[in-house]
Structure 1
Amino acid sequence: MALGPYASFIVTSYVVVAAVVLILILWIAIDYRRQKARLRELEASGAVRRSGRSAADIR
């Protein structure tokens, strides 16, 4: 595959985009775990949800 004189720009762009997407995926996964832990803490302290479901019901 010949990318011509712009090969370094094209490859660098793809690498940067892949890195940003991976960082966003990790950020979302970490935030998801934090939110689930916070919900467990709130439910353990007696807070109830308006929907009536517990954190164990959401998966």
Structure 2
Amino acid sequence: MYAAAPYRGAVRAVIPRAPAAGPRARLRAVLLRQWRHAQRAAAMNVPAGTVKRGRA
């Protein structure tokens, strides 16, 4: 008559998870990050690789 699984366990199994990023999406993200980093370094007139990403 009743489900064998506990109430909370049954709810947890239904929640959809985000799909893992594929290799193309990962590569695209890396290239975009590097491009943004280079643009930021050029705007600050410093060599690339010397600018911190995000908050210091």
Give the TM-score of the pair, scaled to structure 2: 0.45
- Structure richer in helix, relative to its length: 1
Using structure 1 for the length normalisation, give the TM-score: 0.42
